[in-house]
Amino acid sequence: NYPLVEKAYSIMLYVAGLSLRDISERYYVTMASRESVRRWFYRFSSIFSVERRFRRAVAVDETVVKLHGLRVYVWSALDVDSGEILAIYASWSRSMIVALKFIRMVLDRCYNKPLIIVDRGPWYRWALDRLGL
């Protein structure tokens, strides 16, 4: 048995885009096998299924996580009204292009163009302008 925190962290990184091999073998996030991480994901996958609907406002933020000395940027988006997690994504860089890609992922879960709330990161302005937000 593995700690719940280890399972949750592994699932989050898998949802964010790291491969099963990276999680279990390359970066040693967990000592569990790739198959164990895959089973954990499928057991909890309903948590990450997001229904496309009208959203008034969405908060977008990113944070840096150190993974065996390497920086990984984890992007997340929340529906401000419901608190629902709309998207999680991991990238090796924090740039305007990555911000654009992530915000497009978020908009795929919205029927409308909601108010996007961001911090003062310079990578957001260009992406939001490009998308007409």
Q: How far apart are CA 50 and CA 53, in angstroms?
A: 9
Query: Cα-atom radius of gyration of the chain, to the nearest Å?
Result: 16
Domain ranges of the chain: 4-48, 57-130
Write the CB contacts of 22 (distance below 8 Å, at least 6 apart in sequence).
13
For the entire predicted model, the pTM comes to: 0.70
Q: Which fold has domain 57-130?
A: Nucleotidyltransferase; domain 5 (3.30.420)
Kindly report, residue by residue over 49-79, the tens digit of the pLDDT.
678 899 999 999 988 887 767 788 888 888 9
The pLDDT score that the predictor gives to residue 6 is: 77
Structure tokens at 23: 């999680």
Quick count: other Cβ atoms within 10 Å of Cβ 3?
Answer: 9
